[in-house]
C-alpha cells in the first residue's frame, strides 16, 4: 500500500530520522514525499491533488513529525485495508490510539475486526478527522476536501464538521509512533512516548544532524 509523507521546507530535517526509523521498524516500505507548500500553504488542495494523481482506492497518510518507535504490524495494516474495502462508508481508519483531542470522545465498541478492537468516534467529537497516521478512502477524501482552502488545522476541525462518513480508530498501536515537535530547527522533543521525553535516545547522533 502507498505511504505518503507530507512535509514543508522548514521541517525537512525531520525526514532523515523519519526514514531511519521507518527502515528499522517497517523495512522495505517505500514512501512518497509531498511538499504541500507548492499549494501556497493550502493543505486541503495538496491532499486533493495527491489523491487525484493516484488510482489506488486506499492509501496511508502520515506527516513527517510522526516517528515510528516500534515495529509496524503489517498483517494488521492489511486487515484494516481489507475491512475498509468491504465497508465503503468509512472515510479513514486511524492506525493506533492517540492521546490528543479525540480522547474526549465517547468510544463505540465495533466488532468484526480480526486484527484488534476498534472504536468509532461519535459524530459530535471535536476531531473525528485528524492528520494522525491513518488509511484513507481516496475518493471520499477528495469529496471532503475538494473546493476548500484549508490549512492543516482546518483540515481537522472544519473537516470534522463537514464529514458525514464513519471514522474509526484501532485501539492498539499497529503503527506505533511518537508525535515529535521542535522549538528550534535542530531540537527534537518527544510528546507522546511512555519511556522518555526525548527521541534522541533512540536515534544515532549522525542521523539527527541536519
100's grid cell: 490528543
Q: How far apart are CA 71 and CA 175, in angstroms?
A: 7
Q: How far apart are CA 60 and CA 182, in angstroms?
A: 24
* Whether pTM exceeds 0.85: no
24 within 8 A of 67, measured Cβ to Cβ: no
Q: How many CA atoms lie within 13 Å of 139's alpha carbon, on the beta-carbon side?
A: 8
**Per-range mean pLDDT, top range of 38-47, 62-71, 96-105, 181-190:** 62-71
User: For position 110, which CATH number holds?
Assistant: 3.90.550.40
State how many domains the chain has.
1
81 within 8 A of 92, measured Cβ to Cβ: no
Look-up: residue for cell 504490524?
73
- Length of the chain equals 210
Predicted confidence (pLDDT) per residue in 136-168, tens digit: 999 999 999 999 999 888 999 999 999 999 888
Tell which residue, 99, 74, 98, 81, has the closest CA to residue 22. 74
DSSP string, 53-102: H---SEEEEEETTEEE-S---HHHHHHHHHHHHH-TTEEEEESS---SGG
Contacts for 35 with CB less than 8 Å, ≥ 6 apart: 7, 8, 9
* Cβ-based neighbour number of residue 8 at 10 Å: 15
For 202, the enclosing helix (H) or strand (E) is none
| pLDDT value at residue 15 | 83
Domain span at 88: 3-208
| Higher local confidence (pLDDT), 199 or 14 | 14
Amino acid at each position: 500500500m502507498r505511504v505518503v509523507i507530507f512535509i514543508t521546507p522548514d521541517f525537512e530535517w525531520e525526514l532523515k530520522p523519519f526514514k531511519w526509523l521507518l527502515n528499522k521498524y517497517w523495512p522495505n516500505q517505500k514512501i512518497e514525499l509531498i511538499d504541500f507548500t507548492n499549494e501556497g500553504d493550502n493543505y486541503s488542495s495538496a491532499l486533493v491533488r495527491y489523491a487525484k494523481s493516484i488510482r489506488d482506492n486506499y492509501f496511508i497518510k502520515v506527516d513527517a513529525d510522526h516517528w515510528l518507535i516500534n515495529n509496524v504490524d503489517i498483517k494488521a495494516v492489511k486487515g484494516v485495508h481489507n475491512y475498509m474495502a468491504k465497508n465503503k462508508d468509512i472515510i479513514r481508519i486511524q492506525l493506533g490510539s492517540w492521546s490528543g483531542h479525540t480522547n474526549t470522545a465517547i468510544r463505540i465498541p465495533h466488532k468484526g475486526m480480526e486484527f484488534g478492537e476498534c472504536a468509532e468516534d461519535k459524530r459530535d467529537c471535536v476531531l473525528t478527522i485528524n492528520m494522525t497516521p491513518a488509511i484513507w478512502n481516496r475518493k471520499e477524501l477528495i469529496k471532503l476536501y475538494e473546493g476548500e482552502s484549508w490549512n492543516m488545522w482546518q483540515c481537522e476541525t472544519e473537516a470534522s464538521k463537514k464529514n458525514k462518513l464513519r471514522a474509526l480508530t484501532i485501539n492498539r498501536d499497529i503503527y506505533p509512533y511518537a508525535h515529535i515537535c521542535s522549538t528550534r530547527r535542530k531540537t527534537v522533543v518527544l510528546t507522546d512516548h511512555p519511556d522518555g521525553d526525548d527521541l534522541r535516545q533512540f536515534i544515532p547522533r549522525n542521523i539527527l544532524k541536519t
